[in-house]
Amino acid sequence: QQQVKQSPQSLIVQKGGISIINCAYENTAFDYFPWYQQFPGKGPALLIAIRPDVSEKKEGRFTISFNKSAKQFSLHIMDSQPGDSATYFCAASLRGAQKLVFGQGTRLTINP
Amino acid sequence: DAGVTQSPTHLIKTRGQHVTLRCSPISGHKSVSWYQQVLGQGPQFIFQYYEKEERGRGNFPDRFSARQFPNYSSELNVNALLLGDSALYLCASSRGQGIGNTIYFGEGSWLTVV
C-alpha cells in the first residue's frame, strides 16, 4: 500500500516532442505528489508538485495531470529539450508528513 | 543562501566498519530527513527529525541511527557495514512539518563498502 509504481523505466524522445511519465499509487491517504528531477551525481531537485484537490497543475513546460479516482498521476514535459535529459522520480507523502515514498524512476533521454 | 550541505561527498569503508555522515540543513529549516538511494532505484526513507526529535523511521535495521543537534544539523550513523549498504545517502530539509513544507535535497554522500 505504500508503493508508488512508475513507468516507463526509460524513455527516449526527440527534441521538441512531449515526454510523458506515469505513476500509480494505492494508498488513498497520500495527499501530496511531487516530481523530482535528478542529474547524474546530484541530489533530486523538486520540479513540480500537486495536491489531490486539483486535476492539473502547469509550470512552464511541465504539467502534472492527476486522476484521483484512478489513483494515477503523470508528468508531461512539453517541447522537450536535450537539457531535460535526466532521471525523473514521482513521489507521494501522507498527510503532509515529511516521509516521501518514491517511484522507481524514469531515465529520460532527449535526442537533439 | 546555501542549500542542504552534506559531508563527506565520497567515502570507502570496509565491511564491519562504522560510518558517520553529516548534514547541514538550509538556514531556517528545522526538519531533516535521511534517504538511501541504491543505484538505479528511487530514494528510500530512513529517518526524519524535527526539533531534535525522531518523527519517523523507515524499514531499516537497528544498525542505522541518527540524531539532530541544537543547530538543526544532523548525522546518520551506520554500524557493522554490509556490502548492501553501498549507496548514495541523501539528506533533505524542510522548514517545518505538514502541508506546504517543500522538501529540499542535498547532493548526497556516496558510500562504497568493500
Tell me the nearest-neighbour CA distance from A10 into chain B, angstroms: 11
Contacts of A19 (CB under 8 A, 6+ apart): A11, A13, A75, A76, A77, A80, A84, A108, A110
Q: Which of A35-49, B6-20, B72-86 has the lowest mean pLDDT?
A: A35-49
Adjacent-strand bridge partners of A8: none
pLDDT at B97 over 80: no
Number of CB atoms found within 10 A of residue A14's CB: 11
Per-residue confidence band for A52, with pLDDT thresholds at 50, 70 and 90: confident
Do residue A96 and residue B97 have CB atoms under 8 angstroms apart? yes
Average pLDDT over residues B69-86: 97
**Chain A residues within an 8 Å CB radius of B108:** 43
* Average per-residue pLDDT for chain B: 94
pLDDT at A55 over 90: yes
From A48, which residue of chain B is nearest by alpha-carbon distance? Answer: B102
Do residue A105 and residue B107 have CB atoms under 8 angstroms apart? no
pLDDT at A31 over 90: no
pLDDT at B74 over 80: yes
Q: What are phi and psi of A54, to 5 degrees?
A: -125, 155
Secondary structure of residue B28 in the 3-state scheme: coil
Taking any CB pair shorter than 8 Å as contact, residues of chain B touching chain A are: 4, 31, 33, 35, 40-45, 48, 50, 55-56, 58, 90, 92, 94, 97-108
Average pLDDT over residues A95-111: 89
Residue-level pLDDT at B95: 87
From B38, which residue of chain A is nearest by alpha-carbon distance? Answer: A104
Residue-level pLDDT at A1: 61
Q: Report residue A24 as a C-alpha cell.
A: 500509480
Do residue B45 and residue A99 have CB atoms under 8 angstroms apart? yes
pLDDT at B11 over 70: yes
From A41, which residue of chain B is nearest by alpha-carbon distance? Answer: B107
The 10s digit of each residue's pLDDT in B47-58 is 999 989 999 899
Residue-level pLDDT at A95: 67
**Chain B residues within an 8 Å CB radius of A103:** 42
